[in-house]
Amino acid sequence: MSTSTLTPDRQTFRALVAEVAARAKEKLPQAVNGRVESAVKLVLAHDVTPQADGTILVGSSADPLKTYRLEGTTCTCQDFQYGKAPDGWCSHRIAAGIQKRVREVLATPAVEPATAQESGHPALPEAPASVNVRLTLHGREVQLTLRDHDEGRLLVRLEEVLQRYPLPQSQPQLSPQQHNAAAMHRPVTGFCQVHNVPMRWNEGKEGRKGWYSHKTEDGQWCQGRARG
């Protein structure tokens, strides 16, 4: 395994750490508060050092001369020992988890097109599994591409993205006359300002004047006027 695979450029490393930390923050209890941010600083400072005996030494965020030892899911810091860390997730344990995930991603070999062709299989893109999804962010439509080396994990990530960015509610279609009235801040005929839905015209009988109305979800009829 080449050294460059495990030691990417600084910008790539920081971006990967930020991505892994964002996913961790979604899954960890909200009560961890700023522990994820502290963990990110420890990882970026290379203060997470696996040991030969399977334990992990993690630096202190407050004291640069102090380190804590992780063994399994336990940590020697006071936050963990005194039960202050939510579900045992102190910043040192979170940092070790982020560091482990980052190393796993870096250690996953990319598929080389030349190697794929020599094996008799068609060349693959950068990642074996990818998906494109269109999202609406702040009123703008953008396209997001997700890539992964595992299709099942990719689908889980896609589901998380779709839950974070649900489909916007469809807006009622207005006629040109209604658009003009709305632009001039005049009442929009045939459009309910209370429920934000179009209304239909009802012809009056025996010379009575017609009216606009629509049926609400609770089965009541509304004529577009708020009740006092």
Q: How confident is the model over 37-74, as pLDDT tens digits?
A: 999 999 999 999 999 999 999 999 888 889 999 999 99
List, in sequence order, every beta strand (DSSP E) within 5-154.
Answer: 48-50, 56-59, 67-71, 74-75, 129-137, 140-148
- In 3D space, the residue among 28, 53, 22, 57 whose CA is nearest the CA of residue 42 turns out to be 57
In sequence order, the 6+-apart residues with CB closer than 8 A to the CB of 158 are 131, 133, 146
3-state secondary structure of 140: strand
DSSP 8-state symbol, 33? T
Residue 88 DSSP one-character state: G
- Nearest-5° Cα angle at 99, 124 to 146: 30
Angle between helices 91-107 and 35-44 (to 10 degrees): 50
* Residues 194 and 188: beta-carbon distance below 8 Å: no
Give the pLDDT of residue 174. Answer: 56
In the predicted model, what is the mean pLDDT of the chain? 77
Model pLDDT, residue 3: 40
pLDDT score of 191: 73
Residues of the chain with pLDDT under 50: 1-6, 111, 113-117, 119, 121-125, 228
Cβ atoms of 35 and 97 within 8 Å: the answer is no
Q: What is the DSSP letter of 215?
A: E
Strand partners of residue 69: 57
* 16's tokens: 């990967």
pLDDT the model gives residue 212: 80
pTM check: above 0.85: no
**pLDDT at position 28, please?**
92
Query: What integer pLDDT is reported at residue 125 of this predicted model?
Result: 45
What's residue 32's pLDDT? 92
